[in-house]
Amino acid sequence: GAVVSQHPSRVICKSGTSVKIECRSLDFQATTMFWYRQFPKQSLMLMATSNEGSKATYEQGVEKDKFLINHASLTLSTLTVTSAHPEDSSFYICSAPPTGEETQYFGPGTRLLVL
Amino acid sequence: QKEVEQNSGPLSVPEGAIASLNCTYSDRVSQSFFWYRQYSGKSPELIMSIYSNGDKEDGRFTAQLNKASQYVSLLIRDSQPSDSATYLCAVTRGDSWGKLQFGAGTQVVVTP
């Protein structure tokens, strides 16, 4: 149980385009989902908290207008990287705790390369 | 900035030996603690969670928590080459429910 999927697993795009990443909890409901970013040789950095039915909350230094988050249902959150630039190239990972639990289960991640 | 600190390694462990991983955290309000394993190029996978002081065992893994010392550890017994990975310590942040703060990770290399 507690499976989280992400799509796509890998994306290459041109600078200035937007990229949408989906995160789904497959066998449980998640009121809250989290989006992380991981640069090479570094640990995970929390970007934002996605809340079903309300606005996402962003960590300090993360631009909310650049990283748009929509938590459309109890099993789906999307992250859209708008006007992507090469410095946005990273490994984006979502996580979700089953509602009421603190244990987070991670999706397989999306590797974004902006040319 | 609240911190979670781990030795970066690499920690080289002979096959069959015990790997000992340490983690200290600075936020005294943290209540939940997790160990994740991350293979190169992959996302983290949960190994263990621990919430109260003492030891918690699950198969070859034992987590130890000492809140007074703000210290959490992970022991891997009978280490296997497949255990070679980066181990991430994560603690819940006191400022918001559910948010985790991660250490930089300890790379473990199990040598046959």
- Whole-number pLDDT of residue B93: 84
Over range A78-106, report the average pLDDT. Answer: 93
Q: Is the pLDDT of residue A108 over 80?
A: yes
Give a three-class secondary structure readout of chain A: CCCEEEECCEEEECCCCCEEEEEEECCCCCCEEEEEEECCCCCCEEEEEEECCCCCEECCCCCCCCEEEEEEECCEEEEEECCCCHHHCEEEEEEECCCCCCCCEECCCEEEEEC
Helix or strand run (H / E) with residue B13? strand B11-14
Quickly state the pLDDT bin for B5 (edges 50, 70, 90).
very high
Predicted pLDDT of residue B1: 59
What confidence category does residue B2 fall into, taking pLDDT thresholds of 50, 70 and 90? low
Query: Residues A41, B105: contact at Cβ < 8 Å?
Result: no
Spatial CB neighbours of B57, under 8 Å, sequence gap ≥ 6:
none
**Would you state the pLDDT for residue B30?**
84
Chain-chain contact of A102 with B98 (C-beta, under 8 angstroms): yes
Q: Select from B8, B43, B86, B101 the residue whose CB has the most chain A CBs within 10 Å, as the one to mutate to test that interface.
A: B43
Alpha carbon distance A31, A71 (integer Å)? 9
User: For residue B45, which residues of chain A lie inside 8 Å, CB to CB?
Assistant: 106
Residue in A with minimal Cα distance to B46 = A105
Which 8-state DSSP code applies to residue B83? G
Q: What is the least distance, in Å, from the CA of A48 to any CA of chain B?
A: 9
pLDDT at A1 over 70: no
Is A49's CB within 8 Å of B44's CB?
A: no
Q: Give the CA distances from residue B15 to residues B47, B52, B74, in Å, rounded to whole numbers and listed in that order.
A: 19, 30, 17
- Mean pLDDT, chain B, rounded, equals 93
A15 vs chain B: nearest CA distance in angstroms?
Answer: 23
